[in-house]
Amino acid sequence: MSPGPRQTRTCLITTGKATVADYQEQKAGLLETIRRAANGGVDLVQIREKALNARLLFDLTRSAVDALLGTNAKVLVNDRADIAMAAGAQGVHLPANSISPFAVRLFAPRGFIVGLSTHTLEEAVAARDEGASFITFGPIFASEGKPDPAGSPALREVCEALAGFPVYALGGLDASNVAEAVKAGASGVAAIRALNETRQRLDLLNNLAR
């Protein structure tokens, strides 16, 4: 019997638009978006709201964990492993200039997910060797804020070098190019715009399911 199609994982990254001033207004919309995304099949939700203070980031993370109970989605917090653990989230996602995954593992509970952003092959290899659970690699395609993408050949090089290790493609992903990222070897895709906006999310997930 031939194996079934490989499942491509998905990571929704929140938009980062919430501020201390409009937190209560933004919170309800954020929770509704991630709830719908999780029910639609998104695997990971990365809380990436850099403008929030620690108290509000904790509150949002705790609320997100509660909102996703009963789904298969897991919650990660951008850069703040302390808040992630305090709020009961399942992991942290570290920027490239943050502490190493190994340092997080020294005090994190067993099974804690540690993602890491990478932009070069050397960073990707180091992230794997330092104990990351997965990496994001990119930007793969051009987007409004990232006009100089690495391209799918660079993604393929990383995926081949880290064969068997989870690599999430990041940057400019949408329904029109997600198949190219998967063909290059990505085991997952991470996105802000394409997974937060309902119509684009449905189109992207439908393309992955083909």
Rounded Cα gap, residues 182 and 146, in angstroms:
20
The two tokens of residue 117 are 């952003």
Total residue count of the chain as it appears in this document: 210
pLDDT beyond 70 at 28: yes
What are residue 143's phi and psi, to 5 degrees?
-140, 180
pLDDT beyond 60 at 5: no
82: burial class by Cβ within 10 Å (0-12, 13-18, 19+)?
Answer: middle
Model confidence pLDDT, tens digit, residues 109-132: 999 999 999 999 999 999 999 999
Q: Whose structure tokens read 């998905």?
A: 10
Q: What is the pLDDT of residue 147?
A: 78
Q: What is the pLDDT of residue 113?
A: 98
Angle between helices 121-129 and 152-161 (to 10 degrees): 30
Q: In the predicted model, what is the mean pLDDT of the chain?
A: 94
Domains in the chain, start-ordered, CATH in brackets? 9-209 (3.20.20.70)
Model confidence pLDDT, tens digit, residues 51-96: 999 999 999 999 999 999 999 999 999 999 999 999 999 999 999 9
Q: Hey, CA dihedral for 150, 127, 184, 206, is it positive or negative?
A: negative
Average pLDDT over residues 3-12: 72
> Which one, of 166, 126, 161, lies nearest residue 11 by Cα?
166
Rounded Cα gap, residues 151 and 173, in angstroms:
11
pLDDT beyond 80 at 198: yes
Quick check: 64 and 47 in contact, CB under 8 A?
yes
